[in-house]
Homo-oligomer: A and B are copies of this chain.
Amino acid sequence: MIQVIEALAIVEANSSKMPGKRIPLGKALCYVLAETVYSHTATPAFRQSAIDGYAFVYSEKQQYDIVGSLQAGEHLNTKLENNQTVRVFPGAFLPDGADTVVTHDYVMSNEKSILITVMPDQFDNIHENVEQIDKIDKNEVVIEANTLITPASIGLLSGLGITEVTVYKKPKIALLVMENELVKTDEKFLKDKIYESNSLMLQAALQTIGIKKTKVFGVKNNFKVIKKALKNSLSKYDIVLISGGVSAGDFDTVKEVLLENEVKELFYKINQKPEGLLFFGKKEETLVFTLSGNPASLLTNFYVYVCPAIKNKMGFGEIYVPKVIRKLNSEITNTSGKTVFLKGLYDETFVTVLEDNSLLLLDTFAKANSVLMVPYNVENVKKGESVALLPIN
């Protein structure tokens, strides 16, 4: 029996990063960069307009003739004369000669010319290389390795002409569901059975962290069948989740099968509520987790242990999961001597614990937006005290 914090450290230490692969930039959202990206090429050395206005060659003159209009990225091939101006939009490259931009708010204009009403200082409203994205030289770092790829970084890389990136692969995940006595949801409801709801739920939970497809194997709770299914999965997948059939009684069978398949046990019993019976093991780089058949316990253990393992393998840094701190809306007493996970609903300021102590009820879980942890050695958390939450969904 180990403590939650030890279990988490073991999970972290054993979930090594996946290898990298090249993918098109357009498919890279929510992957983590496995390479530092350098610019292919120096970006243009032109100065750009920072604002919506008129570019001109600075002088004390107020009146200028309009000779053109430039959008972001556009460039004029002729040099601007002293009495000329060009309508410019943010990001437009300044014509040769032009050194100042005046905002259109300080200009009176007709189609042919402008009159500047409030004269800016020379060099106002332009982006020199030093302060623009186009400061980037050839082979300069654009984004460091191990950075999560966001819409903005896709825009940035795309804007530099980069079309492919190397990212950490997503782990391939196999889900073995023990088909004990459960009924699939498309069968008729039988009075003394419960529906097999774990596979759909786990697939959905995996989707929330970017694992779009999970291979699900229904496995009869029988030594030979489990052994074969596990053997196949261990060779083809990066993470194997075994759901159901592991509550003490059957645990011996599953554990025997795991050991026969040379899965190295890293832990199997955690001092926690709910469901401390959770086998975590490894064969080569493939991780194996057993998850209790009870849907709510299973989901808790998924969020607490399996999610971080997957995110580690995908190269996520902790920086991408800012912890949520909230004030507790009610007192919590924990005399169990175990670390207790509770379901919480948090708003801007407070977190409400959705029930006393049981994680058996999935309908409460469906209303929660976080999991709250009370350590084994904390007997009491007072109303108004701050607690850290693990946001879910």
Contacts and interface: CB of A to CB of B under 8 A. Distances in A.
Contact of A185 (B162, B297, B365): B162
Interface in A161-216: 161-163, 180-183, 185-186, 189, 191-198, 200-205, 207-208
B133 A201 contact: no
A346 to B, nearest CB: 6
A142 B363 contact: yes
B151 A29 contact: no
Count class of interface residues, chain A = 35 or more
Contacts of A361: 131-133
A313 to B, nearest CB: 20
A44 interface: yes
A148 interface: yes
A195 to B, nearest CB: 5
Contacts of A182: 73
B155 A71 contact: no
Given A161-B185, A193-B73, A91 B360 contact: yes
A158 B133 contact: no
Contacts of A250: 71
Given A104-B248, A161-B195, A366-B153, A127 B348 contact: no
Contacts of A195: 158-161
B185 A294 contact: no
A155 B148 CA distance: 29
Contact of A297 (B90, B192, B369): B90
B151 A90 contact: no
B362 A192 contact: no
Given A87-B249, A90-B294, A293-B89, A201 B366 contact: no
A373 to B, nearest CB: 15
A297 B152 CA distance: 11
A50 interface: yes
B91 A293 contact: yes
Contacts of A294: 72, 89-91
Most buried by B among A44, A147, A194: A194
A354 to B, nearest CB: 11
B247 A152 contact: no
Contacts of A163: 185-186
Given A90-B274, A127-B360, 16 more contacts: A52-B247, A71-B247, A71-B250, A71-B293, A72-B194, A72-B293, A73-B182, A151-B204, A151-B208, A152-B368, A153-B366, A154-B197, A155-B366, A160-B195, A161-B189, A161-B195
